[in-house]
Structure 1
């Protein structure tokens, strides 16, 4: 399959989405995408968490003790189709929010949803 650079531009986000599609992930199905923001203090993270909750965002907050320095991480869970333009728009919003609360946007990720034809045939047979 030839890469459509309008749908999958040649940058980090486009490359991840293109790889997801190449791996068989159905990008027309909504995924729970996780966006992360890192903070150096608990107070900064809690202030940002309150802001995001007021914006009706689903979040989690935890202390990451495995990094070289102790960080507080907010993960924002957004249920959406993994579309390039939407991801870029949300990233810009999260970057702005992170900066307003002295944090740093730390990227996004999601679980892949890969269906094999054999799995579908078995499911269809069970429904008959």
Structure 2
């Protein structure tokens, strides 16, 4: 399998090399950061009303105090789909004073 030469492509290449089956559905987690809890909460509300409505979880980083929203979607981790979803979630986060902080597959289907 070949992947584009960028950060997403490198992550997918590493997963593939570790034996992760990238042709099946996984829970893909996207991470969005917010300085204020109110902004994170308004982002979660905006996602609830969106056409694509991922499961969300709000956490606080104990080291920085930054609020992290984990937006999880069940999907095949295909390069273009991940890029489109990441761009969508980040553009919405931008409207709520937040920003993207990457993605990953942390579910039981992934092999570490």
- Please confirm whether the aligned pair reaches a TM-score higher than 0.5, indicating the same fold: yes
Stretches of 4+ moved more than 4 A in 1?
A: none
Residue 36 of structure 1 pairs with residue 31 of structure 2: yes
SS at match of 2:56: strand
User: What's 1:95 paired with?
Assistant: 90
* Structure 1 portions without partners, runs of 5+: 115-128
Distance 2:38 2:90 in 1: 18
Instruction: Decide which of 35, 46, 51 is 1:51's aligned counterpart.
Output: 46
Displacement of 1:24: 1.0
Distance 1:113 1:42 in 2: 31
Displacement of 1:19: 1.0
* Structure 2 portions without partners, runs of 5+: none
Residue 63 of structure 1 pairs with residue 63 of structure 2: no
Q: When the two structures are aligned, how many residues end up with a matched partner?
A: 107
- Higher RCO structure, 1 or 2 (CA under 8 Å, sep 6+): 2
User: What's 1:113 paired with?
Assistant: 110
**Higher mean displacement: 54-63 or 71-80:** 54-63
SS at match of 2:71: strand
SS at match of 1:66: coil
Distance 2:83 2:42 in 1: 24
Superposed CA RMSD in Å reads 1.3
Q: Per residue, is there more helix in 1 or in 2?
A: 1
